[in-house]
A and B are shown apart, each in its own frame.
Chain A
Amino acid sequence: MIVAEIKRALSSTSFLIALGVGLLFALAHILTVAVPYAFDPDWSLVQAGSKGVYPNSLLNSWIGATPYALSTSLFFFALPLLVCLPHAGTLYTDLKSGFISSVITRCSIKDYLVAKAVAVFLSGGIIGIAPLLFNFLGTAMLLPALTPEPAAGIFNVPPTALLADLFYAQPWAYLLFFLVFDFILCGIIACSCFVFSFLVSNKFVVVVAPFLVCVITYFALGDASGYSPINLLNPSQSHIAQLIPTLASYVIIACAITLFVVWKYRRFEVV
């Protein structure tokens, strides 16, 4: 059942469209930010052996390090919606169309929901990090990875940012953390559509509601907007967030989603 659901999720047209849109933003960022940086006159000075020059490099030029760029803003703003596009609304359509009645003659409702959750989580995670990886590798082809230097003043990770000390001490560990964190966060956002699948009767609302929650928390929470997914998905966060409260709040959200779905499936009846 899990394999069938994953195949269904990853081979759908909407998955390819969402992935394509994400990659388009990543490509636009390479063309508008990384390419001009690669031809920056500062590099000529470095090649000529000048000292004291610290040009833009990989770790402050990829999409996760340039919060001021339009392509970065568009990508991280649209990401909570993109991750829900491929498969997150299929629980609602399966329930509404009666397809679920056919499925549970072949397996238990529990197996079906677990398979659905795994497929939605994976599809959301892949949509989330594939454009990031593509952009990182594309930028790496144009710019070298200089070690982050706080005194250079060109790295968009302020001392108050999440894991800022790790970024300047072990930048690759910092990147790995954010790629894993983004994958999990995108998966949780996609799975949150399950809650709305049981609460509302409109596919548009089911798929877009998590995005709307993310936008409202980002723009309306004031000082607490650092904990909005739109801020946390971006490695160079515009707002301040602490590590422990961040992890704790998303573990609680994931548990709440799971408990809600379990509560619903225990009361599930095929009409």
Chain B
Amino acid sequence: MIALTNNRPHSGPLPQGSVFLRFLRYELVSGILFSRGRLALSVLVIVLLCGGFMLSYSSLVGGLPELSGKKPLVDFAMVFGFLLTGSDFYSMDGSTPFVIPAVWILAQTAIAFLIGSRVNDTLEDQALQTLTRVQSRDTWWIAQCIWVFIMVAIFYIAAALFAVLLAFILTAQATPGIELDLWSYLTSSPRPEGGMFDFASLFIAPFLLSAALSMLQVSLSLVIGPIPAFLAILCYDIASVYLNLPFLIGDDAMIARSSFAHVGGYNPLLTMLIALLVFVASAILGRTLLLKKDLAGKKGE
């Protein structure tokens, strides 16, 4: 197990940069790999994200309109881009006005659970020991932010790789010659001219949203504790499912439904900007709170 102890002999204190790198490596490895429970839950998150994609794709293909009596071709880029839906796709009609995106909620709950359990370790139980070793709250906080970002990125990269694999298989089975503008079909808006950048943004947007909410959860944990912060993030996610309001950014991860309700269709750039803003604001707020947090007093409770 990687420890924060220095195994090599040295004279005098280590430079702060070296401590940071060592601490970051410790955070990344002990955050998931050395906890069997968290490792299992991480696998579950990836399975859920991939499962959500498969369910959405299967619903979409089943609901696609037939053109000239045949199922249309859904090209590689479109299938690849379909990961953006982030939730169970469904055809909205009079008998099915609303479907709870169960897989999306499960995946977000599992991510929030992972974040909360780790925060409980680092910022509550082992806070004093960690601070003694790292010696700088700034270093500690930056490592936390990077850990959150990388952990969420791993989940979404794994799901994206799965989508690419599936895209290769599925596009080979489509009827050639009849194409459907899936972008317009999904987002109810004209296909933009941005090309691959738009597809890339659609991949990045759900990931950034998850990362922003995770960062917000870590910062909230410093104020109200890990469990209430977990509850707050979950209520926010559930509210996102039910309401279409601009500040409920969780809803933008479910573009298949958001596009029905958002005036002018879905805008991934705006979503990414809001998510980045929330991530940075949470990181700055968390740093300020950590600098003022009474870790010794907390330990005594």
Interface residues of A (CB under 8 A from B): 17, 21, 70, 73-74, 77-78, 81-82, 85, 200, 202-205, 207-208, 212, 215-216, 219-220
Contacts and interface: CB of A to CB of B under 8 A. Distances in A.
Interface in B74-129: 102-103, 105-106, 109-110, 113, 116-117, 119-121, 124-125
Contact of A78 (B37, B106, B121, B231): B231
Contacts of A81: 227, 230-231, 234
Given A204-B227, A205-B37, A77 B238 contact: yes
Contact of A204 (B103, B110, B226, B239): B226
B242 interface: yes
A78 B227 contact: no
- 5 closest Cβ contacts across the A-B interface? A204-B120, A219-B102, A70-B242, A204-B226, A204-B117
A208 B121 CA distance: 14
Contacts of A215: 105-106, 109
A190 B234 CA distance: 19
A202 B121 contact: yes
A203 B230 CA distance: 13
A70 B119 CA distance: 29
A72 B226 CA distance: 24
B228 interface: yes
Contact of B227 (A77, A85, A212, A219): A85
A81 B124 CA distance: 20
A206 B240 CA distance: 27
B116 A73 contact: no
Interface in B199-241: 226-228, 230-231, 234-235, 238-239
B227 A208 contact: yes
A78 B234 contact: yes
19 contacts: A70-B242, A70-B243, A74-B235, A74-B238, A74-B239, A78-B235, A81-B231, A85-B228, A202-B117, A203-B120, A204-B117, A204-B119, A204-B120, A204-B226, A205-B117, A205-B120, A208-B227, A219-B106, A220-B102
